[in-house]
Amino acid sequence: MADKCDLCLLGLIILSSLLTGTSGYDHVFISSGENVSLSCNKTLSDCKSTTWVYIDRRSGIVELITGGIKNNDTERHERLSLESDCSLNIKNVTVEDYGSYICRQYVNGEQGPDAYVLLHVLHVSVSPSSSSSSSSSSSQTEISPGRSVTLSCQLYSDTVFSCDDLVHSEGVELLWVNQAGVDLKTDSRYQILSSSSSDQDLCILTLTTTLLNEDDNREWRCQLTHRNQLKTSVRYTVKYSGEKTLFSDRFVKTST
């Protein structure tokens, strides 16, 4: 019962922090498919008194690590591991992993300072908007040359702020750029629109263009900057193959 009450109290503390802002969080930005390590305020010689908790407004509170031991009844347990410094490793990050993570440790029975991490996940999907094919987030999508194509850059962030607030309060920015790093908003052949989901967990920046003959091997990249520092990006390169166009995506991780 005490453990359940403690968990409830932890949830109230976390929800309160979400409602009052995210300034106490360590913001971590990663692209889907990458591996990430979330740091803990280690105050112990080992991690036997370490608990990692995941919380968001969709699934509530989930204990991932309890007393230094991984909980195997969670959906993501196979992708989790605990480092010797008590950091939480997540392999092959998915869009379902975004949200708030809290590391809690006890020293001689006394609770130490909690570490709060807000994980943001960047994901890109491609849709041949003028063909009969449906939207796809797979690594390769075939479309006919000359068709219009839309790339959707999606940032999953579990905060109480709107996308505009996230930009102004935290200095987060999404950009579609070319291979030289030039903002594609400056090129009239690209239509770039920003939007957000109704629950404010998703910021979207779409790029729509009609493919040209010279687009073979052309690279487009959605990049995320935080306070003017590049954190992560997703790169799409156009590959022409016969009468079809092949899009291939590769992730580019920039260390922080």
Q: Specify whether the CB–CB gap between 151 and 124 falls below 8 A.
A: yes
The whole-angstrom separation of Cα 114 and Cα 134 is 44
Mean pLDDT of 224-233: 94
Percentage of the chain exceeding pLDDT 70: 73
Which is it for strands 115-127 and 26-31: parallel, antiparallel or unpaired?
A: parallel
3-state SS string for 1-18: CHHHHHHHHHHHHHHHHH
- Read off the pLDDT of residues 32-87 as tens digits, 9 standing for 90 and up: 999 999 999 776 778 888 999 998 666 688 999 999 999 987 778 899 999 989 99
Q: Report which of 59, 44, 181 is spatially closest to residue 115, judged by C-alpha positions.
A: 44
Q: What is the mean pLDDT of the chain?
A: 78
pTM value?
A: 0.81
- Read off the pLDDT of residues 11-20 as tens digits, 9 standing for 90 and up: 444 444 443 3
Mean pLDDT of 92-101: 93
User: What's the pLDDT at 198?
Assistant: 60
- Read off the pLDDT of residues 112-153 as tens digits, 9 standing for 90 and up: 788 999 999 999 988 754 333 333 333 344 455 787 889 999
